[in-house]
Chains A and B, each alone.
Chain A
């Protein structure tokens, strides 16, 4: 059987079987009624033959379920277009060579976790000398002056630093997303940058576990990177973008 990319369904072991798994809790006491509730809920999600394979009493009137079923919905894969960062990823040596040869000066990059966010794992992975998973961070790049401002940096402080250091790139990491605080934070930074009249001079990049390129564009950033991104991915993007902007000015 050939795959109809205009009508794609989940796959378990047979094409178009729609096999899908769920796990969730309901605020109801464990029992036959709870099981039925879980079934009805998944049925409303377009799942046929929902099977509650596991039900666990969590106490306090809450119950956990693992449900399998068959999904009736399909997606049209052939018509999907997702905005993406369009740079090919260079390695450490290629990026430094690119800056030396095509840009001809060192780039200044500032990174920070802004607002109340204190989770620096992400920005550290990108910025710090040691980097992450055997991939050096930007501090190690001879052609980049990288400054990791750390955690809980006020947006105003970051922008002031950017002006002071004449930065080319700002990297903003947002890990805490409770109640949408990352959106508020990221938006505020863009507003301040625009108010200061330096938006055109900067490449604004955000990153974090719940960030993607599309969201970044919506918020007024030049690019967004999600989980698993390492320094070369980010650097490849901004060196090419800076080069592109230089070309456009000529």
Chain B
């Protein structure tokens, strides 16, 4: 696509350079640290699943077991592999023994270090080979069935009951949805374990569990065959269990994951160190699994004003892009977020929305941008809301967005009813079809309102990123420069789960992911 808005490439380069330095600053801080969630993820990738008698997930049991004995600083892997080799058991069987209290991982003598490393690497290879198979299965299915044209229609189901979700998801797919996301139960992002099994009770959504992933995947595969279109499944791995949920998604062939530390820090008050470490690992998993991540910049506009804070969205997209690259995530898997949230009473608000969306498109040409619908200014007047959503759809098709989170006329009222979703799909399909090639026919007026607005937002974003570069991301968050929300380096939830790695720390999954993703190994001391 030819660039339509005249944007200063030198400014874009400056922004990217600043964002890259910001991302490296974060990376150099987190590289010597791991978290209990990262370690639990390693256990899950080694094949550990299930719960103990008190319904505590086995990965938590094992990690807590080592934490209590103050020996987690070398990571969980060596302890686990040591037991696996000597007891000739699978990791699952070892975890079960730990859970029933019959033995402690620390009771066994160490086997030879080289053997330990080699065994760990072998287990990691097996695990990643499995994820690769899952990924290949997706590729084959998409090749055979095809998939929806961009902007792909993304709808949410949120009944609280996974079996209802499956019905609603299938119904949505038949009506034309390309992506079905199961919203999590309110508060799941703040619990430090992943619930187990199929769940039928939730508030404002349904728990993300591996079994729920499986149920939903199967339902969408079934309906995908019928409608002749691969239906993408999306869930949410922001929060305290970010890498674990990413791993579960990789195993159960999810296609898309909300995966944004900044969102958790700002809107869920999760400790920044914890979630940035978790994010780094989770994005490697998502990258390797071929999962498209979604970032949450759209949320900034629910607290800050969409006109005034537009540049913070762009700045955050730049930072998220650079952080993602450090985890080996290619641009085609970066669903960078933004939103249609300008006050509808503002004169020419539509022009500004167009400017923002077109600018993002040009600056991140390969990224399947995730475009979020109006929420803040939805009122309960469903008739007007339907029109607001129509304008949102117009902007999207004109500017070639990748992922269209469909607006519901009942936004701000209740979680969508079955017909709300159908009407939203109908709205989007009508507009996308009716206006499909409009953007090929129009250019933006040079120095017009739209172009100037985009240039203005870009200039402000550059300014902001260069300021952030000077003080680092942590300080930026402490000062409340994003979304008007202030967060402390040692505040928020989950800090207790962060630990500094010992010189003998070993995480073969991360090492293997880095190798397969073509990332440099992040030396422990440099």
Measuring CB to CB, which residues of chain A are less than 8 angstroms from any residue of chain B?
23-25, 56, 58-60, 62, 64, 116-118, 120-121, 124, 128-130, 133, 150-152, 176-179, 181, 209, 227-228
Q: Is the CB of B419 within 8 A of A178?
A: no
Please report the C-alpha to C-alpha distance between residue A59 and residue B185 in the assembled complex, in whole angstroms.
Answer: 26
Q: Is the CB of B484 within 8 A of A58?
A: no
Q: Which among B134-142, B290-298, B409-417 touches the partner chain?
A: B409-417
Q: Is the CB of A60 within 8 A of B190?
A: no
Q: Is the CB of B418 within 8 A of A176?
A: no
Which residues of chain B are near A128, meaning CB under 8 Å? 303, 484
Q: Is the CB of B419 within 8 A of A23?
A: yes
Q: How far is the CB of B382 from chain A (nearest CB, A)?
A: 9
Q: Is the CB of A179 within 8 A of B160?
A: yes
Please report the C-alpha to C-alpha distance between residue A20 and residue B422 in the assembled complex, in whole angstroms.
Answer: 22
Q: Is the CB of A60 within 8 A of B269?
A: no
Please report the C-alpha to C-alpha distance between residue A56 and residue B186 in the assembled complex, in whole angstroms.
Answer: 32
Interface size of B as a range? 20 to 34
Please report the C-alpha to C-alpha distance between residue A139 and residue B173 in the assembled complex, in whole angstroms.
Answer: 45
Q: Is the CB of B167 within 8 A of A150?
A: no
Please report the C-alpha to C-alpha distance between residue A120 and residue B417 in the assembled complex, in whole angstroms.
Answer: 23
Q: Is the CB of A177 within 8 A of B414?
A: yes
Which residues of chain A are near B171, meaning CB under 8 Å? 58-60, 62
Q: Is the CB of B422 within 8 A of A64?
A: yes
The chain B residue with its CB closest to the CB of A59 is: B174
Please report the C-alpha to C-alpha distance between residue A121 and residue B483 in the assembled complex, in whole angstroms.
Answer: 13
Please report the C-alpha to C-alpha distance between residue A124 and residue B268 in the assembled complex, in whole angstroms.
Answer: 14
Please report the C-alpha to C-alpha distance between residue A95 and residue B305 in the assembled complex, in whole angstroms.
Answer: 25
- Cβ-defined partner of B379 (8 Å) among A62, A176, A227: A227
Q: Is the CB of A209 within 8 A of B413?
A: yes
Which residues of chain A are near B303, meaning CB under 8 Å? 120, 124, 128
Task: List 8 other contacts, CB 8 Å, given A58-B418, A116-B204.
Answer: A59-B175, A64-B418, A64-B419, A116-B185, A129-B484, A152-B187, A152-B190, A179-B160
The interface bits of chain B over 290-313 (1 if a CB of A lies within 8 angstroms of the residue's CB, else 0) are: 000000000000111100000000
Q: Is the CB of B174 within 8 A of A25?
A: no
Q: Is the CB of A56 within 8 A of B413?
A: no
Report, nearest first, the 8 A-B pairs whose CB atoms are least far apart: A59-B174, A116-B187, A64-B419, A116-B186, A60-B171, A59-B171, A176-B204, A25-B419
Which residues of chain A are near B190, meaning CB under 8 Å? 152
Q: How far is the CB of B424 from chain A (nearest CB, A)?
A: 12
Q: Which of B167, B376, B419 lies at the interface centre, i.e. has the most chain A CB atoms within 10 A of its CB? A: B419
Q: How far is the CB of A244 from chain B (nearest CB, A)?
A: 32
Chain A interface, DSSP helix/strand/loop, else mixed: loop
Q: Is the CB of B413 within 8 A of A133?
A: no
The chain A residue with its CB closest to the CB of B415 is: A178
Q: How far is the CB of B299 from chain A (nearest CB, A)?
A: 10
With A58-B171, A59-B170, A133-B343 already in contact, the answer to whether A118 and B186 are too (CB < 8 A) is yes
Q: Kindly state whether residue B123 has any CB partner on chain A within 8 Å.
A: no
Q: Is the CB of B203 within 8 A of A24?
A: no
Which residues of chain B are near A62, meaning CB under 8 Å? 171, 418
Q: How far is the CB of B482 from chain A (nearest CB, A)?
A: 15
Q: Is the CB of B380 within 8 A of A227?
A: yes
Q: Kindly state whether residue B267 has any CB partner on chain A within 8 Å.
A: yes
Q: How far is the CB of B333 from chain A (nearest CB, A)?
A: 27
Which residues of chain B are near A64, meaning CB under 8 Å? 418-419, 422
Which residues of chain A are near B170, meaning CB under 8 Å? 59-60
Q: How far is the CB of A37 from chain B (nearest CB, A)?
A: 15
Q: How far is the CB of A29 from chain B (nearest CB, A)?
A: 12
The chain A residue with its CB closest to the CB of B382 is: A23
Which residues of chain B are near A117, meaning CB under 8 Å? 186
The chain A residue with its CB closest to the CB of B159 is: A178
Which residues of chain B are near A177, meaning CB under 8 Å? 414
Please report the C-alpha to C-alpha distance between residue A118 and residue B305 in the assembled complex, in whole angstroms.
Answer: 19
Which of B181-205 touch A at CB < 8 Å?
185-187, 190, 203-204
Q: How far is the CB of B76 from chain A (nearest CB, A)?
A: 29
Q: Is the CB of A58 within 8 A of B203?
A: no
Please report the C-alpha to C-alpha distance between residue A58 and residue B380 in the assembled complex, in whole angstroms.
Answer: 23
Q: How far is the CB of A71 from chain B (nearest CB, A)?
A: 20
Which residues of chain A are near B187, meaning CB under 8 Å? 116, 118, 152
Q: Is the CB of B204 within 8 A of A58?
A: no
Which residues of chain A are near B380, meaning CB under 8 Å? 209, 227
Q: Is the CB of B484 within 8 A of A150?
A: no
Which residues of chain B are near A116, meaning CB under 8 Å? 185-187, 203-204
